[in-house]
Amino acid sequence: MGMSKTEKKSTEEVRRKKGRPVHKRLTVVPERCSGCRLCEVACSLVRFGVNNPKKSCLRVMVAYPHPVIRMPIICHQCRDPKCAENCPTDAIEVHDGVVALDGEKCISCNQCVISCPFGAVFTHEDMDTPFKCDLCGGDPECVKICPKRALLYVPEHMVGEEHRVTSLLKYAHMREIEYVEKGERKILKYADIERLKDEDKRGILQKDTGD
């Protein structure tokens, strides 16, 4: 079921045609997520016109206290989507990089919900069929509202870049440099430079509020 390999190849070819918009992907930096669930509400508003986080096409999951993590579960718009593969009525197809569910063909068996490895297809008793992310037609609301930049919509080759930057900074944090000041050998840690920088910023505290 779902897409054959030849179909997939043709999608890629189409994407490479000149003049096509940059193909972007929705991605998550879980470490940044504060768990505020603004993405959920914004999604339900734009997608279904209701204020209901339980009718959103992504879901913030929380684990605490061991381990501590908050993370929005999103649809990755897989190239070879398990949801489509397991759909008995071919109701799920990939169009322009978006895995789309056709409500007309769907029989609401929820096979797609349980076959998604991430749990990124959702159901709600008010809804006739399961529902999933359609990237808001290429301008995802969740990304725009996220106050922590935990949700990103980036060109495909940039997926993972936030993690690479974090990894880079962690490495720099561990580094020490030796230098000589007034004949004395000293060691400077990058972590300390950061602290000094922060101390300079303390002017920010001169404000009249504070409870």
Which residues bind to other proteins, rule: CB under 8 A? 31-32, 34-38, 41-42, 45-46, 49-55, 61-62, 64-66, 68, 70, 124-126, 145, 147-148, 191, 194-195, 198-199, 201-202, 204-211
Measured from the CB of residue 210, what is the shortest distance to other proteins in angstroms? 5
Q: How far is the CB of 11 from other proteins (least distance, A)?
A: 33
CB of 27 to other proteins, least distance (A): 18
Cα within 13 Å of Cα(121), Cβ side: 25
Give 94 or 141: the residue with its C-beta nearer to other proteins: 141
Answer whether 39's CB lies under 8 Å from 142's CB: yes
> For residues 22 and 61, which CB has a smaller minimum distance to other proteins in the complex?
61
Nearer to other proteins, 49 or 183 (CB): 49
Q: Give the N- to C-terminal CA distance of the chain in Å, as an integer.
A: 59
Q: Which of 108, 104, 124 is nearest to 56 (CA)?
A: 124
Looking up tokens 């349980």 gives 114
Q: Which is nearer to other proteins, 147 or 160 (CB)?
A: 147
> Which residue, among 56, 48, 121, has the nearest Cα to 84 in the 3D structure?
121
CB of 188 to other proteins, least distance (A): 16
Quick one: 25 or 32, whose CB is closer to other proteins? 32
Length of the chain: 211
Report in angstroms how near the CB of residue 125 gets to other proteins at its nearest: 7
Structure tokens at 173: 């944090």
Contact between residue 142 and residue 43 where contact means Cβ atoms under 8 Å apart: yes
Is 35 in contact with 60 (CB distance < 8 Å)?
yes
* Closer residue to other proteins, CB minimum distance, 173 or 186: 173
Question: 3-class SS at 90?
Answer: coil
Minimum separation from the CB atom of position 157 to other proteins (A): 28
Q: Which residue has the tokens 């580094």?
A: 175
